[in-house]
Every structure is written in C-alpha cells, then in structure tokens.
Structure 1
Amino acid sequence: TQFVVDGGHGTCVTTVPGSERSAFVPAVNSSAASFKVYAVNNQGFGPGSTASVSVIPQAAKAGFFAVDNMGVTTNIGSTTGNFAKLRIRSSAYFGSVSTPSGNGAWLLANGGRIVALGDATVTSSPLTDPAIQIVSSYNRLGYYVIGKNGQVSASANAPVIESTSPSSRVVIGGVPTSSGKGIWLVRTNGKIDGIGDATSGALAKGQYVRVVPRATGDGFWAITKAGKVVSFGDAPTITALALNVKDTALAANGDGFYALNNSGSISALGDVAPLAVTSVSGAIALVNTAKVSDVKDIQIDAFSDFHGALDYTKTTAAGFDTYTSGSPVLAANFAADRALNPATFTFASGDNWGAAPPLSTVFDEMPSVEALNFMGVDVSTFGNHEHDKPLANVNARIAASKYKWVVSNYSSLAEINARNFNGIAAAPWTIVDRGGVKVGVIGLNTPETKEVVFPGNLGGITIGDVLGTNAAGTATKTQVKAAIKAARQAGADVVVSLVHEGFGQFNADNSAAEGRLLDIVPLLEGSDIVLGGHSHLKYAGIVSNKLVAETPNAGTLYNRIRACVDTATHKTLGSRVEHVTPTVKVPAGTALAATGMNQDAIASIAAYKANLGTKYNVVIGSIADVAPNGGTPAIQRNYETGLGNYIADNLRTAMGTQLAITNGGGIRDMLPAKTFVPTNASIVRPSWSSLQSGYTTSSGPWKVTSSGPYTLTVGDVATVLPFGNTAATTTITGADVWAALENGVSQISLGAGRFPQVSGLKFTFDMSIAANSGRVTAVTLTDGTPIPKSTAVTYTLATNDFMVAGGDGYTMFGGLAKARTRDVLETVVREAIIRDSANGPVVMSTDGRITRIG
C-alpha cells in the first residue's frame, strides 16, 4: 500500500511509501490548495481523506552558495538568505548533495569528513579509500561517498550497492543509475566500471579529472584535464570548455551545470542561464541547495474499446437534458479537461472500432476514425478488432486518422505502411511534446488476436507475447523494453504504455487483482503509467510502482489521470486516476448547437444516419423485455443467457443440425440494442438510467427503468451481431464436442469471448478445476442422452464461419475447408424475430442448459 497526496489541478500529485506519515509535496505554483490523502494498492484507490486546511506553498532555499575556506558563504542564486557559517577549515572540498527538502546539503570535506548544512544531519563515511566524491542517490533521499579505488558508501536513505575495489582502478567519480540499483564508476582513462546492475562501458580516450552526474540517472558529463566536456548517455552535448574546474553544481533544469574554477569565476555550461553572480573571490566550492527539478502537473484522458459507439444517450429530468457517452460528449469532456490544463494528453488502448453499431460498420468503420479525430486523440495502439478485416483496411483507416499509432510487440510493421493524416507512420514508440512535458508512448496488442480474427488478416505479422516463457517470449520482452528505452533516450519525461490486455478479476481468497494486464505490468521496466483494455472492465490501482488503469467499453467511462512529472529528472513523482462518466448537462430544450457538445461530431453522426436511410429503422417485431448482455463480468462470456439461447436455437433450427455452438464474444449488445439509436421517434425503446456498479447475471450493465414490450428493428439485430459472420455447418465427433466446450470455458477469468452459447445440448463445468484439465464435467443432448467423449460418434453442428475457421481456439471444428458456409447469421436471427413476433412479443429466457459450479 502507498499513499497519494493530491491537492487538485495546479498541484503536484505525490506518491509516498505506505510506511511514511508525511510527504514533501513540490509546489507547481504559488496558489494555496487543500490536500487529500488516498491509500492505493493493486486492489484500487481508497476514497480519500478529509481535505486539509488550505496550505500555502513555502519556498525552499534555492539557488547556489559559494563557500570559501573559512566557511563563509556568499549567496549567488537564492532569494532566501544565507546559511550559518560552515567552518570547513580546509581548502580541500569534494562536492555537495542537497537534502530531499532542498533546505540543506551534505558537504564532503578533506579526509572524508561530512559537513551538514541547513536541515542535513551529520553522518560519517566508513570508507578506507581516500574519499574523492559525494553524489546524490537516484531516489534523491540520500548520498554516496565514492573512494579513489572504487569503494562506495551509502548514507541517509540511499540504497546500498555492493562494490569491489580492484587496486588497479583509479576513479574520478561515480554516477548512480536510474534503476536505483547501480553506479557507473568512471576511471581517469575514461573506462566505465558498472557496479550493481550498471553495465560497463567507456568514454573516448582521454585524461579525465571530474564527472558531473545528470539527475536522470541515464547519463553524465565527464571533464578532461584539457577542459573538454564529454557527454555520456542522455547528457546533452556541451561544446564549451570547462577549464581548471574546482567544483561543479548541476543546474536546476538538469540540462547543464555550473563550474567554479580556480580563480573563483563561475561559468554556465550547457542549456542553462548564467547566474547573477559570476565570480566569488576565494571560493572553493559551489553548494546547490535547490532540488534539481522542474515539476509539471500533467493530465491524461484515456479510454479503450470504444467499438464505434458514436451516438449519445439523452435523458430529461428535473428541467435538464443530460447527454451521456458518444463521440460528441466525449469530445466535449476532453476539451473541457484541456481547458483546465493545457498539458493534457489523450490516449486510446485499442478496439476503437469493430464489433460496432451499424452507424460505424456500414461505412467500413470510417465514422469511428473520424470520431477519434474529433475527440483529439493523440495516440492509439491496436486491439484485436482493428484486425477484423485485412491489412488493406487497417492501412486505409490509419491514413484517415489524425492521431499516431504505436505497437511494440509486432514482428514487423512493413505491411502496416500507411501514414496518418499528418504523414506519420505506425511505430514501436512515439513522443508527444506538450506543455513543456515529453510523454513517450509505447503499445502492445494481445497475442490472442491471431485466434480471434480470420486467418490471413494479420498478413505476415506475428504478435509477440511478453508473458511467453520460450525464446519467442524472451525476444518480445527485449523488443518491448527496447521501445521504452528508445523513448527515454529521445527525451521522454514520462512513459505511458498502451496495452490491449485486460484486468480479469479480484482473487476470491486475497482480493488481489488478477489478469494478463496485471501480469504484464512488472515487465514494462521504465514505464510509469500503464493503460489497459480488452476485457471491458473498470480498474485502477498501483502495480509494481506503476499506475495501472482500464475502462469499460463503448465510451461509458474514461479515465482522467493527473500525474506530477519532474522534467529535470524524468521522474513521475505521483499519479492518481478518476473514473469519469462522460456527460453534458444543459437546461431542458437547449438546442444541440448550444449544448457545448462537439459540433463536428454531431454533424458527422447526422450525415451517416441520413445515409443509412430507413433501412435500419425498419420494424421487424417486438420483445417482451430487455434481453441482458454485457455486465461485470460480461454475462455472455460467463453464463447461459436468454439472448445467447435464442441465437443458438435459431441457428440450429435454420441449419437443421443436431447441435449449435456460438461464441459469447460475438454477441455485442443487449436487445433492444443500447448503442443503436433509431431516428424514428415512434419506435418504442427502453429507458435506461446511469451505468450501475456491481451488476450481475440477472441484469444488464444499464439499469432499465421502463417496462416492455419494446420494438425491435433491423438496426437492433445488426448491432447485436455486427461482424457480418455467416452460419457454417460441419460434422464433429463426441470428443470434439467435449474439447470445444473445454476450450470455451478455459478463459473465463480473462473475460474471453470464446465462452459457448449452445443449443441441442446441456453441459456442466466446475470453476474449481483448472482450465483445460477437465473443467467440463458432463455433456448431454437436450433430452439427457450422454454425449460420449469418443471419436466413434458424430454430430452435425451449426456455428459461424469465424469459429469453424479456428477462431477463439475452436480448432477442433476442422476448418473452413471441411465446413459448408450458409446464411448470414444476422439474417438468421432477424428472420426468426419476424416469425416469432407474429405470435406476440418474443420472450428470451434461460432454461438451465449450462450449469456453472463455482
């Protein structure tokens, strides 16, 4: 458990360990603020404490002090006055390190003696080597004293790092690395010895006399005897000479340093401003009591699995019209967030389209591409549904998008060769530079994609699995880490990973969050924030010191994340997430043009609706009550449902087979469809209230506040079954039936779409039995006749072309070559509703054909 301290916009969200009872919160500006404290772990964020009284930021001692050999200090960059006399009593001085608060410093004097300044407390160095350098630990909470032969002593709250000291090594200084677990030791000849987890290396050959670490932990400058400044790692190039240097101090922005030479003059090197005082006679040292930092308050709006849910919902109550979800509302909410903080970034974690309502699918998903343009999305990764059609379609949609595309676990991007509207191609990583902050972004798509799209849709692309334990998995991990590292080396202050993998559930025994998303997070070393998707579930928590968040599908929620980023150290100091229901609320009767919703998105929806014409408003029948679908967990992916039974029964009847099996993941909405909004006002629709939490198998994700019967239209069925799949028939054995059902219940904890909705048979499965280990315990025909686990008995089967081709793991169905494809599945269901409605509203119910234990 950790604590997050947050004072709202304009303050620095700060995360501290759960063992701490106080926090130093850097000031972003001079405005007073009230703070709340939130406990957080992988189970989520707590509700927050009572707000504190208004706190006025206090300026820490800042800038530099020059120190002479009598201990007299001269203020050369601070507005807060001098510290007391130091009484160093020596002309030998080897540097200083600021305390965590910035209100003090430790100085290393002759003989390894530590001198305390301000709020620093004196500690001693146990080195047997002559001490030659004091350097801040990467966590900024303590310091190391470096010995001439490579000994390292940790003090205050600096992590201990093991080192050896070969007698041949003559060290000029050390640089703690960003992992917090290593140090580069630099020799006089430029050789770099890595201790801890730091790797060894070398500078250009020369005679080196001093090293100046960057606060990032990913680079440093080394100064030669001739005054040349040599950059290593992410340290910017400095062409000016640093001659006769007695001491150095890192500049506040981290992009350069100040050098005090033997004559007392002070030079600014790198991209830094000169000090007001450029010379102090008799000075032997520069003491920087300011924290090396440049703190920025940033905001991230994030969503996933939009699935082309373009249209909004409107309700009227208590004199107000409330518009919920849909691209015009999301775009308005994102715009409002940007108005509060210009350093706002908008990201999508895949499945932006596919499995979408007719308003998107009929137009080849281009309305969804345009919707994300209207929302101002900066970067998206790919989800499995981006590959529902061949790569030519992917490239066409990229060409129409104004946002960037990233994916880091594809074997190649050669076949995804389109450039977006701004001429930018998909890449393993990218950087968005805004508000003085560079946000690096990488992406991962689920390797499950190859099982859930048609063979050939990925071309020659292999999607690597970072969780794989074989050589391919290792290679994928290396590839992804390289993308994160490349973003960092390009100057990213914070790295966000867009991961189309999902949270699954909370463990029943210990309440820990589970799912592939949570398993992947620890492997994303160097990433600060991980934004998931795919499972359509809401989640937010801290895992491996990274903020992890996910949203439900169809734009019903988005995550508003605030993070505090130190651009000098490239560190994220803290972050917090809010789940936001996108809404626009205006006085009842307000014209659409005056609602504040995005007018381009409204016009786009209107134009596409007009092009749909009357086709999707055609009434085909009625239904007695809402047939639930979705939920947490999604019922069609976990249980028998009335809608699943109706689809499977009519598939079997129409095809004339003994059995039918269809995948729950292919059923994309309840009936009537929530995401289809007819243009004909006479069509009777349910009334839904806000998204309800904790809904179960007995209800859908939206609370229904009306009573049936309801009208059903062509658009309703097209929304429920949007993939255009055709029915397919084949013959399978009894053993295949068992194998199919075992596959179908194998990924329930992941919310996978392979869960079977069935007809002509009954089966029982036990969740206490491991997946693919006999979880299915009984299978019979509807009349109770056992289906043997035998290859000697065969049955005729109706399914869909996706599944018979091996999709969702149903390889036991034998492939398309063996099967016969028939009518479009949507047509089968639509004709069944027309037929059954002749006798009154259709009733869709469960009958116990699927029994779940546990």
Structure 2
Amino acid sequence: LRTAFIESAYAETDALLSASMELLGEDANVMVTSDHGFAPQWLSVNGALVMQQAGVTPGEASGNCRIPDDVDPATVQAKICATGASANIYVNLIDRDVPGAVAEEDYDAVRQQIVDAFTNLTDPDNPDATVVDEVFLKEDINDTLGVNAVHPSRTGDVVVILAPPYQFDAAEPGVVISPSTFFGQHGYMPDLVDLDANINLHGTFLASGPAFLEGTTLADVRAVDVAPTAAFLMGIPGPANASGSILYDALADGESLSELTIISISDYHAQFAPLSGSPDSFDDENAPGVSAQLGGAAYLLPWFDHFRVESQGPSLFLSANDVIGATPPLSAFFDDMPAIEIMNAFGTDVAAIGNHHFDVNYEWFIDLMPEADFPWLAANIVLGDDATPIALPVDGATPAAETGAPWAPTAMLELDGMTVGVIGITTLDTPRVTREGALGPYVMLEPIPVVNRYAEELRAQGADIVVVIAHEGATAGTLSEPTGPIVDIADASVGVDTILGDHSSQQVLSLRENGTLLTQNPARGYSITRTRIVIGTESGEVVYKTADYHLPWNISVEPDEAISTRVAELTTDIEPILGEQVGVAENPILRSDNCGGETGRLCESLIGNVVSDAMRFSYDADFAITNSGGIRADLTCPATDNPDDFCAADLEANAITRGQVLGVLPFGNVAVTVDISGVELKELLEVGVSASPAESGGFQQISGLCITYSTDLEPGSRITNAVRQADDGSCTGDAIDFSESATYTVITNDFSASGGDGYPNFSERMVTLGLLDEVVSGYLAGDTEALVAGDPIEPAIEGRITCEGADCPAPV
C-alpha cells in the first residue's frame, strides 16, 4: 500500500510537470524546487508526554504547541511545538514570556532537563533503535548546510530532531511511542541521505529553458538560491532579504558573467557594543516579543566575512559612515583612534568623509587620516579659491591636485578583471551641523554636478562600474520609494550604477527609473546591505544589479577574537571611571521622543527634559535650550546585560552611569551661558522648530519655558505662545516678553551658541562653563538642590513643546 501510494505521488507530479511545460512552451525558463526531501516513517513520539515525565510540565498537553489543560500557566516550565520530525521547545522564562515560570538563574538547568529527557529516549519495542538524531541548544544552531538556521525568537530554547522512522505528529495520548498514521515525513536533519532506505532529505531542483545549460548536474544548490536566480532571469531586483546566490553555474551564459559584491553599513559611529532589536512585533499585550542583540564590532566582522565567502567574484567593503565623531566613550576617550582601528579590521576598502569628521575641526581629521588603511574620498569638499593647499598623500586614491584637498575625490580599483570607480560625497549640511570654522579653508560644492562630472571621467578612464559612496541620506518615504537629498542625487545621476547612502537612519533598497540602484541602512550597524552588480565580461557592461539587507543577529555567531580582545582592553582602561553610578530612574529614559522619533528629533523627550533641566538648575539660568542632535543614546542602562557597556550586571534597574551619560553626550561640548534680548530669544526658538514636521538635529529640548508653535506658519514666524514653567514644572507661568528691552540668561552648548544647526551665533558673547556630560552627571548625583542624591528621577512629558497645525508630529 505504501509503495503504491508513493509511486502514484511520483506519477501525479510527473504528469503535472509535463502539462505545465507544454503550456509554458519552449521559450520559458522553468525551475522546479522543493524546500526539503522526505523519509519513510511509521512511528510517532509523544513529545508532550516526554516533557511531563521529565518534570517540565505538570501534565500532558492535549495538543501541539499547547500547555496542559486546567493547570496554572505559571507552573508550566516549557511547551513543545513540533512538526514532522522537528520540535522547538520554548522555556517559559520570567521577564521574557507571559506569565513566566523559570527564573533566569534556572534557565540552563531546565534546558538540561529537556536535553537529557530526549537524549535518553528509547523505544521499548526497539531498544537498539536511534529515536533522537540530534538535540540542540538554541545558541548551538549556527551553520546548517551553509545557512544560519537560528532565529532570535522563533527558534526554540531547545531543538529536537528525531531519526527515521520516528516523528512527532498524531501521537497517541498517554503513550510515548505509537504507530503513525502517515507514510512519510520531513523535519529530519537536512543532510540525511540513505538511498537504500529510501531516505533523502535533500530538496529537489530542476531547471529547463533557453537560459539554462542542458544535462548539467549541480552540487549544493540551496533553496535560498532559487529566488535570486529567478529575479536575475527576470531582470528585476531580488527579494529584499534574499540570502542566497545567483546560480551562474546553471546558466548557459554563466561563464561570460562576472559579479561584484559590495558590503556596507551606514553611520557606524564606532558602535563597538552590540545593539538591541526585536525580531518580531506583536500587538497582543500578552505577547510582548523578544529583544535580542545584534551588531557590535566583534560580531559584524564574521557577518562581513560570510558575505565575502558567499560572493562569486570580487567583493568590496565600502563606507560612507561617520567613522569618527559622535562616538561612544570606548572610542571618544582615545581621540577616536579605536574607530579607525576597527574600520581597518573590518577590511574597509574605501571610505567617504562624513560631517562628524569635522566635529573638532579639519586639522584634527587631517591628523587622523593617515591612520586608516584605506583612502578617504570627498569630491565635493574642495579648497576655497583664496586658500593655500595642505599637502598630505592618500595612498591608493586618485591624486587630489584639482581639488586642493588632502583627500581624494575618487578612487579607481582593479578587481579580478573588472575596474570599479568610486566617488565620495559629503552632505551639504556639514557647515551647518559643525562648529563655525570647522571646515577651515574648505568649501562645499553641490553634489549632483560633481557626481556626474566624475562619473563621466571614471568611465572615460575605463571604469566598468561606477559607485557613489555618499554621506547623505533619505529622510522619509518607504524602503523602495524613499525621499530626501540622496534620492534627488540618485535621480539626477548619469552613468552611476549604485549609490550607497548614509547620514540618516533609514533602510533603503530602491532601483530608480534611471537605473541607479540606491541603498542605505539604519545607523550604527543595525543592518548590513549586500549589493551585487553583474557585468558581461565580453562587453564590459553592467547587465544586472540587485541589493538585499540583513539584520546581523549575534545569536550563534562566534565573535571575532581580535576585535573582542581590543574592545575588552579599551573597556578595562576606562571602566573605573565610566562604570560609576551617578543616578537611577523610576523608568527607562530613552533617546526617543514623545512622537516616536527614535533619534528624539521630532518632539519633547524625557531625555531632553533631563539634559536641559540639568543645565538650567546647575547654573541658575532663566532658560536652557539644547539641540536634539547632540543627544545620541539612551540615558538609563539597558535591561539586558551587555559586557561591552559601562553598566555592571548587578546594578539596579534603570541605573545611570557616567559611561551612559557620556554616550548620551559624546561630543565633548561645553555648557555656555549667553545674555540675550527677548527678540534674540524668539529668533533662537524659531530655529528649533523651523524644520518641523521633518526630523532635525536642531530641534530643541528646553527647560524653564513652554512654547507653542504652528507648522501652518512660515519658518521664522511659527512661535505663537511662550510662558515660563511654574515651580512644579507645569506650563502655567508668566508670558515671556519677546521685546528688545527684555533680557534673559540662556544656557546652551557651545555648538549651538556658535551657530551650529543654523542657530544664531553668540560665540563672542558666550561664557564658557563645564563640560556638558559632567554637568549632567553632577546634576544626577545630587549636586544641585533640584534633586536629592540617591533618589530616583522620574521625568515626565510636561507639554514644554506643543505643536499646532495640520501636519504636526503626533504623540504616541
């Protein structure tokens, strides 16, 4: 019966394929694939009963992926979710799962109970048979046949794989092993093959049509390779998260094609420590989702190396990042030398210059340039007409004599028979978002004519591929339909194959109408983009381009030993200072604002209130105003311990350390006071809301006053009301006099007071005070009468900044 059933399935499949091929015709390219193979089975394992007998559950669950009936969920330590021969077992972990039954300190012990129960499982009727093939802990599932098979939240804490003829489905209640009602099953180890026993878990791949070679057998085709190959044949970009390869070896013209892989991250800012992200999003309050670590220097390099190995031709790691400036303490404390050191370790081939490279001034950046093992590019930052060139060679880059700058405009790279031209571009915002005079004798040029001019020159010099690495970004829109300055550059580009954007934190994969492929990532290594450009080796012309992005989860990834060691050394050097706790909060104080802006540049924010209050109360000014672009991180320690930060694992919840404060305020800014008139105060406040509803680093966080503004009014005339804050923080104080005769003492930072972010330049009148991070640390430690040392702070959104208008950012 089983034989006849299986033979009939084969016959039915053959008939379906035959009919399909006849309907499609000879000119169609067809791929037939399955995601897995099959194995015969005839016995069912009752995983729920195994869990009960191991003492993990108080009873036998009556269905798959369920807890036992009529029991308190808080007494169930784990549940099993099985399909075929595979089972994911999820521990009911306190503070991760609802309601939670297992404390963190008991997590490994409970997992070991489960591992032991399944590892020692035997079949009473067949005591010599292997029932369980493999038992994995979640973090041990790494590379499975060339694919990372672990998911941060969906993969079980323990994974069990049975051996044929055993499987989990349709088990008999109350019996550990019983006869099965199925003929065949999947879910076994994917490399399991025993043809004599009719076992073959390899998937099927067949291809036919004019694009494919005839009579060719390919080894190691993966399911993830099918979609990229299909997209290539259709001439469309591949899936946004495609992880496989184009099957050139299967193609009739495969030998005449050459592929370039470009690996990129955006706005890295020396984020050596891992970040945190949620792999799933749930609306149900009883399923809050799981936070997992991703990125971080030591974990990013293995991801880069994975894509280098995956490439089917030469590969490049290109950076348009702010490599230096606005960096966390691990780099900033050492004059940002570690930032360049890590970029060298990443194998950076070429880097564009970011605006933060001039945070101190141009001389500081020029002194750091030779420390890089790669050339720096900025085609649109050139020496002013009346300035004297500063000589500094940049190895491996096009000579920069025509720009008068010590950095090159372009680089030409010879890679395995293809020539790649790279153009560097820096945001036009640079003079506005840096200190006045930071660029020295250098001036900015409009990027579009610069890009097109150098693209034409590089083509004339023999470039097969032209790439722009631009420290300029998208500011709105969607993944495939972004908007913003980088989109304008891409749409106006001529002769450019791909542009790697930066500067803003947005994911972009967009093939523009002119054929330019535009990509960009969220900041600080939160995602990696892989761009692939294919050229015909005979014509030398680009025939295809695609890009996909990937979240670099840390689970199952072995961190790079050299980078881990270096980060640990840096941490050890400054831990005694930056690990000191200076305060604590009742609740987390994040960088994000009240309107959901992750970078806090849309609305009033808790962290902005704390920083501005610290400034005002520390120096008894009338008002405090600070730019949101100067606030760069969360203030409170993260809930998940991270050995690379400055929050010890045994600190109380929502602790604040000096290292956290320095991460929030990494620029080394100084608090300054300025005596100004009411007219000047209004001018200053108008700048802060001029870009709304768009995000802006110049958006202000304020203390001592409350303002109302309207986006329906023209920038420069948007403030409609302003009052002082009452002693209780409410917006019920006296109206503020914006007349010339009124005078106020305002405390801000030296960047804003010197004209940064478009604010009025008060540098000749400002009085320099303490370092801003030390001001905030002292305030949190109780150095002012506003806070009592040791008492938790509990900032609130008080309505300090209210927007009125049709397109105001909406509170969340």
TM-score normalized by structure 2?
0.62
1:721 to 649, 655, 665: 665
Q: Which residue of 2 aligns with 1:824?
A: 771
2:451 counterpart of 1:480:
yes
2:717 counterpart of 1:774:
yes
Q: Which residue of 2 aligns with 1:658?
A: 622
After superposition, residues 176-325 of structure 1 pair within 5 angstroms as 294-312=256-274, 324-325=294-295
Task: State the 1:797 CA deviation.
Answer: 0.7
Among the aligned pairs, what percent are the same residue? 26
2:743 counterpart of 1:794:
yes
Counterparts of 1:764 and 1:555, CA distance in 2: 37
Q: Which amino acid aligns with 1:451?
A: R
**What secondary structure is seen at the aligned counterpart in 1 of 2:571?**
helix
**What secondary structure is seen at the aligned counterpart in 2 of 1:620?**
strand
Counterparts of 1:844 and 1:56, CA distance in 2: 61
Q: Which residue of 2 aligns with 1:88?
A: none
Task: State the 1:35 CA deviation.
Answer: 3.5
Q: How far does the alpha carbon of each residue in 1:101-151 deviate from its partner, in whole angstroms, 9 at most, with x for none? A: xxxxxxxxxxxxxxxxxxxxxxxxxxxxxxxxxxxxxxxxxxxxxxxxxxx
Counterparts of 2:592 and 2:416, CA distance in 1: 39
Q: Which residue of 2 aligns with 1:620?
A: 582
After superposition, residues 217-616 of structure 1 pair within 5 angstroms as 294-312=256-274, 324-341=294-311, 342-412=313-383, 417-419=391-393, 426-466=407-447, 477-506=448-477, 513-543=482-512, 544-586=514-556, 596-616=558-578
**What secondary structure is seen at the aligned counterpart in 2 of 1:499?**
strand
**What secondary structure is seen at the aligned counterpart in 2 of 1:545?**
coil
In structure 2, relative to structure 1, the CA distance for the partners of 1:516 and 1:26 (3 Å cut) is farther
Task: State the 1:684 CA deviation.
Answer: 4.5
Q: How far does the alpha carbon of each residue in 1:130-181 deviate from its partner, in whole angstroms, 9 at most, with x for none? A: xxxxxxxxxxxxxxxxxxxxxxxxxxxxxxxxxxxxxxxxxxxxxxxxxxxx
Q: Which amino acid aligns with 1:624?
A: E
Task: State the 1:711 CA deviation.
Answer: 2.0
Residue range with higher mean Cα deviation, 295-304 or 359-368? 295-304
1:807 to 726, 735, 756: 756
Counterparts of 1:6 and 1:381, CA distance in 2: 41
**What secondary structure is seen at the aligned counterpart in 1 of 2:525?**
coil
**What secondary structure is seen at the aligned counterpart in 2 of 1:585?**
coil
Is residue 384–residue 446 contact of structure 1 (8 Å, CA) maintained in 2?
A: yes
Task: State the 1:309 CA deviation.
Answer: 0.7
Counterparts of 1:790 and 1:621, CA distance in 2: 40
Q: Which amino acid aligns with 1:737?
A: L
Q: Which amino acid aligns with 1:668?
A: R
In structure 2, relative to structure 1, the CA distance for the partners of 1:423 and 1:295 (3 Å cut) is closer
Q: Which amino acid aligns with 2:626?
A: T
2:720 counterpart of 1:751:
no
1:763 to 704, 707, 727: 707
1:842 to 784, 793, 796: 793
Counterparts of 1:554 and 1:54, CA distance in 2: 32
Is residue 275–residue 526 contact of structure 2 (8 Å, CA) maintained in 1?
A: no
Q: Which amino acid aligns with 1:484?
A: A
Task: State the 1:512 CA deviation.
Answer: 5.1
Is residue 402–residue 422 contact of structure 1 (8 Å, CA) maintained in 2?
A: no
Counterparts of 1:650 and 1:722, CA distance in 2: 16
**What secondary structure is seen at the aligned counterpart in 1 of 2:720?**
strand
Q: Which amino acid aligns with 1:819?
A: M
Counterparts of 1:53 and 1:340, CA distance in 2: 10
Give the helix-richer structure, 1 or 2. 2
Counterparts of 2:411 and 2:31, CA distance in 1: 29
Q: Which amino acid aligns with 1:558?
A: I
Q: CA RMSD in A?
A: 3.9
Is residue 378–residue 403 contact of structure 1 (8 Å, CA) maintained in 2?
A: yes
Q: Which amino acid aligns with 2:375?
A: K
Q: How far does the alpha carbon of each residue in 1:590-646 deviate from its partner, in whole angstroms, 9 at most, with x for none? A: xxxxx6422221122122122224111112121222112148743521110011011
Q: Which residue of 1 aligns with 2:602?
A: 638
TM-score normalized by structure 1?
0.59
1:730 to 650, 670, 674: 674
In structure 2, relative to structure 1, the CA distance for the partners of 1:338 and 1:580 (3 Å cut) is same
In structure 2, relative to structure 1, the CA distance for the partners of 1:316 and 1:452 (3 Å cut) is closer
2:657 counterpart of 1:739:
no
Q: Which amino acid aligns with 1:646?
A: V
Task: State the 1:656 CA deviation.
Answer: 1.5
Counterparts of 2:240 and 2:415, CA distance in 1: 31
Task: State the 1:832 CA deviation.
Answer: 0.9
**What secondary structure is seen at the aligned counterpart in 1 of 2:770?**
strand
Runs (5+) with no aligned partner, structure 1: 11-22, 61-290, 467-476, 587-594, 686-707
Is residue 707–residue 800 contact of structure 2 (8 Å, CA) maintained in 1?
A: yes
Counterparts of 1:681 and 1:536, CA distance in 2: 26
After superposition, residues 688-727 of structure 1 pair within 5 angstroms as 709-727=653-671
Task: State the 1:570 CA deviation.
Answer: 4.4
Give the strand-richer structure, 1 or 2. 1
Runs (5+) with no aligned partner, structure 2: 1-29, 34-145, 147-208, 280-289, 399-405, 726-731
Q: Which amino acid aligns with 1:515?
A: G
**What secondary structure is seen at the aligned counterpart in 2 of 1:411?**
strand
Counterparts of 1:404 and 1:619, CA distance in 2: 41
2:670 counterpart of 1:668:
no
